[in-house]
Amino acid sequence: MDGIVDSLALKLAADGGACGYLTIDLAALCRNYDRLSSIVVPAQTAAVVKADAYGLGASQVSRALYRRGCRHFFVAHFIEALRLRPQLPGDAKIFVLNGLLPDNEAACADGGIVPVINSLDQLRQWSRTARSLQRRLPAVLQFDTGMSRLGIPPEDRGFVEAHLQASDDIDILFVMSHLASSDEIDSRQNADQLAEMRRIAAEFPSCGISFANSGGIFLGGDFHGVLARPGIALYGGAPTSGAANPMETVVRLDVAVVQTRTVPEGARVGYGGVHVTKGRTRLATIAAGYADGLPRSLSDRGAVYHKGVRLPIVGRVSMDSITIDISALPEGTLSFGSMVEVLGDHQTLEDLARDAGLISYEILTSLGHRYNRQYR
């Protein structure tokens, strides 16, 4: 029976020539949104949908969250905002975290998209655009509170304040910053950044604050402000290192078996022959590799699963395939067309990322488009 079920699974996965299933549970995503929203009340909760909603499809994810009540969506680049804008009703606000590169200002204003201003240059450009259009334009001010990445540096805050007092062409919706170590509850950097954020709030008293990312939501009410901006936690990733993950699993990945074989002791497996079998070994080759988001660093380290049984990856991960040791299964359990679990009930994003020496964000955003994507 298992073989018949697995063959049927392959038939479905093979629709359009796919190499497996990538299942995205939109109901679980929405429940994660509800959970995060309940923690930050009375603050509102946005959704970070940059990088194609962390690789899961910004259009599908954003529409599902809009139906759930989300009205604030953050992307990284202006091109992402342009692609997302037609997918959402007009009352949804789309923010560009990196702000605008030169000459994108007019298109941004025309599209009703809100830039996050990170520098005096961006502020001046947006003001010039507002004056040329003869109307006030909305914006968000991002300040650097100690990450030294994006954001207006402390020494420029006075210039920003003077600019805003001298002109009335920009409507500041809120001020924001980004936490660098929020996944580490005991990190001193969290307290340092909070102290700096409070100084900024005192300097811009008429503006609300957006501060908490996924990890920041779990740091307590001092970090919540008026708008929280979760990303990885929405998609089922752990918001806090070293603690039980309170979020529901959103992503499942099952990949098809292309071939099985039995090899003798001393057989070399994969590129470079770096894995040599220590005895008679049953192997299976599955139809995904590093081109599909399963990194080469999983070579001879990671594993996949079948009905709870761990099946180690042996040899190097190839571009389009991976070889696994299936000796732990009874003979005949897996055959041409069977499916194995890469992400699911027995292996989380964090598990796979740990084996690869990466973080869960890298796994999610790398999942390729050769899978049959299913939205539940």
Q: Which residues are catalytic?
A: 50, 271
Q: How far is 332 from 5, CA to CA, in rounded Å?
A: 14
Q: In one letter, which amino acid is 100?
A: L
Reading the block at residue 324, the tokens are: 């696994």
Structure tokens at 346: 């027995």
- Radius of gyration of the chain, Cα coordinates, nearest whole angstrom: 24
DSSP 156: G
Give whole-number Cα distances, 117 to 85, 88, 147, 283, in Å: 19, 23, 16, 54
User: What length does the chain have?
Assistant: 376
Angle between the N-to-C axes of helices 157-166 and 120-133, in degrees from 0 to 180, rounded to the nearest 10 = 10
CB atoms within 10 A of CB 250: 26
Tokens matching residue 135: 């109307």
By three-state DSSP, how is residue 151 classified?
coil
Cβ proximity of 238 and 366 under 8 Å:
no
**Rounded Cα–Cα distance for residues 268 and 276 (Å):** 5
